[in-house]
Amino acid sequence: MADTSDVQNALVALCAAVLYPAGAAGQGGWDGGAGWGVGAAYGGAALGTSQAGLVVRVYRGWPVAQQLDPDLAAGIAHLTIYQPNGMGRVGQGYLERDLSIQGAPPTISATVAGNVVTLAGSPTPGNLVGLIVDDVPLVYQVQPGDTLSAIAATLASLIGGETLGTESGAVLTDDSGNPLTIDDPVTVTPVPGGMTLTIGTPRPIVARVGAQGQTIRRPRQQTERYQVTCWSPTPAARDAICSLLDGALSGISWLQLPDQQGRLLWGGTASDDVPSKSALWRRDLFYHVTYWTSHIQISPTILFGVGNVTGGFGQVQTTIS
């Protein structure tokens, strides 16, 4: 789920990539978005010169005098990404439907030949293996550490003694009213590349596999204002940094976030030509970012079943088989 910290980190990475297109990690001109706390040391890494012609430190937050003043005196600029208080508005979201994400395909397979079920592949936790034996559905979810042998043994235990029924859910009984069960022995046998389950008496068998998917719910969309501030030792350096950034970001419409792309829009510019500190020249670039607050949930796969769907045309029985 993306939040304001993800947006700020993305803006840090974007601005740093403009100033240091060859990569800034290890050059000392960019800290990778971690920022510095009050009194924290920069470390002894060699400082790299940015595309603007001077060293620029890019980070989240607001600078502090203990770090900014010595850097300005040394000809080093700071570029900070900050979210002003109260600069946001809520958009749509309450009518948004859930979005399904196609998950990875199952890594295990199940095939049927007569009364023999063959399992193959490499089990992945969360995969589903399902059988219908005499209209009785049996499903097992693969657990961490499961092997094909363990899965086959579990399915065999589920099959043995399982109560027989019909598609409508009725339990089959004998002449005395006792439920009918599968009493045939189920044999588990290793074969090259897999395992087999053999049911003693041939019966109607259906085998299916599946994998867990994901569903995204987006309850809220918001537009927030962000402030990109250049703290420069000279007016010329300020102009070089801001001109470079403004030109590059004007061609970018979407900001890559961990789970989505946020809409990036220019929101204005303001300069401070009356510095409150000696050798400090400042300019603010404002941007609006629109993005979703989202929740990701696990969505199990339906292998087979019977259910009722109620809609505007009444109740309809749906069979998945």
Give me the percent of the chain exceeding a pLDDT of 90: 31
Average pLDDT score over residue span 114-137: 88
Same domain, 206 and 165: yes
Same domain, 183 and 113: yes
Same domain, 115 and 202: yes
- pLDDT for res 187: 84
How far lies 281's CA from each of 269, 272, 286, in Å?
14, 7, 17
Give the count of domains, the chain: 2
- pLDDT for res 157: 83
How far lies 75's CA from each of 45, 50, 69, 109, in Å?
17, 12, 10, 64
Given pLDDT bands bounded at 50, 70 and 90, which one contains residue 28?
Answer: very low
58 within domain boundaries? yes
Same domain, 195 and 231: no
Contact criterion met (CB below 8 Å) for 222 and 200: no
Same domain, 179 and 273: no
298 within domain boundaries? no
- Could you list the residue range(s) of the whole structural domain that residue 187 is in? 104-211
- End-to-end alpha-carbon separation of the chain, Å? 35
Given pLDDT bands bounded at 50, 70 and 90, which one contains residue 35?
Answer: very low
Same domain, 59 and 123: no
Same domain, 282 and 134: no
Same domain, 192 and 108: yes
pLDDT tens-digit readout, 47-58: 678 899 998 888
Same domain, 110 and 135: yes
308 within domain boundaries? no
72 within domain boundaries? yes
122-126, 146-150, 314-318, range with the lowest pLDDT: 314-318
